[in-house]
Structure 1
Amino acid sequence: MGSKTGIGVLPILVVGGAVVLLGPQLVPGFPDLLGDLGGQTATEYQAAPGTKPRTDKCTADQLLKQRQCDDVKVVLIDAAKMPFIASNIIAAWSEGKPFLMHKDAPGTDDAKRSVVCGSSFKKQFAEGSCDEYVFASTVEGGRWANVRVQEVPLREQKCQGGTLRQEYRRAGIVEGCAFIVVITNPAMVATTPYAGVDIAKDQSCQS
């Protein structure tokens, strides 16, 4: 994969059926594989395999800082804060759910969320909540063919709501804009279903 950073080729790992793009520096999640690059801060992120033709054109800086890859915006989901939500997203990618989404008009998400996370969804834990990917705030949301649901901690659900609002503003995502999701800290993605315990390493994000 070509790089515009002068590094040359960026290595690729496949984790959980999705592509992990190792940015222009070392990835902290894989120290045994890649060693240490003089203590430099590393960049680790994961995107859907279907995004590769687009992300091949972009550097880690463009994806993670500029929130823009070619003509597509980027939304970041931090697995350190939302390990179960990140897990649901990766599972949805592996099931062929859309990786390219388009922001819908404001105020449409509640109705869409009720379709997939309404009375038909039965949570198992008191502090659990229904998470849906693709997002209800997108044109693609609210359709069973496009959506995967999974129970996650309520704190993560609140965190995701605030994160999406912030990411939409930061990336300049308005109605009609196309965007993809990139997961940061993918080594912290939950590997088992939610069992009533919030396992996030960083629980500072509430809403």
Structure 2
Amino acid sequence: MAKTRSTGLLPILVVGAVVILFGPRLLDGVQDAVSDLGSSAEVSYVVAPAVKSRADQCTAEQLLKDRQCDDLKVVQLSAEKMPYITRNIQLAWAEGKPAILHKDAPGTDQTKRATVCGTSVFTKTFADGSCDEYAFASSVEGGQWANVRTEEVPLREQNCQGGTLRQEYRRAGIQQGDAFIVVITNSEKIATSAYAGSDTAEDQSCTS
């Protein structure tokens, strides 16, 4: 029997192990610890509260391996590699920014990014800072102030996200017009405070 302890946070459901993990901020999302398909490690994940009920109908394998939850496709971003970008996403969800995104046409992202982040990318507080935006500029919802939250993040994370999104779109077969949701993995690693000039990611191997 799994043991629980009172922390003021929602417990993570555990598959195949007698442990309970707790993420820093759940924001009423769904979070589970599941067997990392292909390894013995456990992976926690969180989705937007607005799509929790839909995600609950899908298995961890569908979300994390198949990249598909019913008619929604799935993009994964790791908080272990991108703690500040995933923080921005989670805070955007809490502010009511769109939980379901739609892939926009190629080549539209630069203009939309400039709309919300400016042509100089960001008025940087820190030397290696960069403007991050959610909803993504590569989505139909991106570039519209009503849909977007911005926050400064390490430039390394920004570069990592760009390459990761391209890979995730290919992996999930996301084409123009397709609806998708974001699943944040390793969600206990989401940054609990704003970027303060130091890249604190435990895994900095993602550089593009």
TM-score tier (shorter): 0.7 to 0.9
Aligned length: 188
Deviations 1:110-163 (A, max 9, x none): 000000010584220110000000000000000000000000000000000000
Indicate yes or no: 2:63 matched with 1:53: no
Distance 1:190 1:15 in 2: 9
1:185 maps to 186
Structure 1 runs not aligned, ≥5 long: 27-39
Q: 2: CA distance between counterparts of 1:204 and 1:137?
A: 24
Is contact 2:24–2:188 with CA below 8 Å preserved after alignment?
A: no
* 4+ long deviations beyond 4 Å: 11-14, 23-26
What residue ranges of structure 2 are gaps of 5+ in the alignment?
Answer: 1-14
Q: Percent identity?
A: 62
Q: Does residue 1:21 correspond to 2:28, yes or no? A: no
Aligned 1:79-118 pairs, distance under 5 A: 79-118=79-118
Distance (whole Å) between structure 1 residues aligned to residue 201 and residue 34 of structure 2: 26
Q: SS state of the match for residue 145, structure 1?
A: helix
Inter-partner Cα distance in structure 2 for 1:49 and 1:23 = 17
Question: What TM-score do you get using the length of structure 1 for normalisation?
Answer: 0.84
Q: What CA distance in whole angstroms lies between the structure 1 residues aligned with 2:138 and 2:104?
A: 6
TM-score computed with the length of structure 2 as normaliser:
0.84
**1:149/1:159 CA distance change after superposition, 3 Å:** same
Instruction: Indicate conservation of the 8 Å contact 2:30/2:52, yes or no.
Output: no
Q: Residue in 1 aligned with 2:76?
A: 76
The SS at the match of 1:175 is coil
Question: In structure 2, what is the Cα distance between the partners aligned to 1:197 and 1:21?
Answer: 27
Please give the alpha-carbon distance, in whole angstroms, between the structure 1 residues aligned to 2:67 and 2:204. Answer: 24
Contact kept in structure 2, 1:43 and 1:60, CA below 8 Å: no
Q: After superposition, give the CA deviation of every residue in 1:179-200 in whole Å (9 maximum; x if it has no partner).
A: 0000000110111111110000
Q: 1:85 to 1:13 in 2, by over 3 A?
A: closer
